Amino acid sequence: MNSTKNIAQLIAELRNDGITDPAVLKAIEGVPREIFLPDPFKSRAYENVALPIGRHQTISQPFVVGLMTQALRVTDRTKVLEVGTGSGYQTSVLSPLCRRIYSIERHPQLHDEAEVRFKQMSLTNITAIIGDGSEGWPQQAPFERIMVTAAAEDVPLVLLEQLAIGGIMIIPIGVDEHDQRLVRVTRTEEGAETEDLGAVRFVPLLPGVADK
Ligand code: SAH
């Protein structure tokens, strides 16, 4: 039986599961997920599942990409910091929705592969570097939005400090892979407000840069 799913089926599934922002759905529809996957997994590009991308890392589940993108509330005026470029899939979905994205990845090989894809897709508003994203990107701060796609023990203060007042950070919190929550943090004059967006499963945010 051939169970290969196409992008229209994936979009219908995401809408059904609560991704209702038409701009977000359109952005997902515009990104060919197969180019972010290693050959053995390309045929499964439009299944609503996380898949391996090498270096023990995963491309996020499309539903989670939709949820995080929707929760980030970006506009074409927004400057975004992304921690954990990975395959570059989430970055590519955000690209048409915001003004500029600064994205950091600690695995040189994943960074290099993502850069090739950004060029291939002619995405010109992405600046990607190899580095430890838990330190943020002080030279470019403050950011109106921060998207972290690896799980932290707690909201990193360094990142909170690089978030503009009124800015939003989306981040998975919890080191136990089976007990993580997606959190939306809004920076206020006094500190920060947090909202729980549900259970998720992400690889951990690790310190330092990985070996090539
Ligand atoms: N958003 C990605 C999936 C990210 S998986 C996608 O759509 O494909 C999480 C990524 O975060 C991994 O690639 C991992 O190497 C990276 N990562 C973990 N800790 C990091 C850190 N401190 N700085 C930068 N990247 C980090």
DSSP state of 148: E
- Model pLDDT for residues 35-69, shown as the tens digit of each residue: 999 999 999 999 999 999 998 899 999 999 999 99
The model carries a pTM of 0.97
Whether 122 is catalytic is no
Alpha helices in the chain (DSSP H): 7-16, 22-29, 62-72, 89-94, 108-120, 157-161
User: 183: which strand partners?
Assistant: 171, 196
Of 4-8, 21-25, 63-67, 129-133, the poorest mean pLDDT is in 4-8
The mean of the pLDDT values for the chain is 96
Domain locations along the chain: 3-200
Q: Are 110 and 55 in contact (CB under 8 A)?
A: yes
With b for 16 or more beta-carbon neighbours within 10 A and e for fewer, the 46-68 pattern comes to bbeebbebeeebbbbbbbbbbbb
Q: Are 36 and 117 in contact (CB under 8 A)?
A: yes
Give the CATH architecture of domain 3-200. Answer: 3-Layer(aba) Sandwich (3.40)
Distance 109 CA to ligand 1 centre (A): 12
Atom of ligand 1 minimally distant from the CA of 89: 7
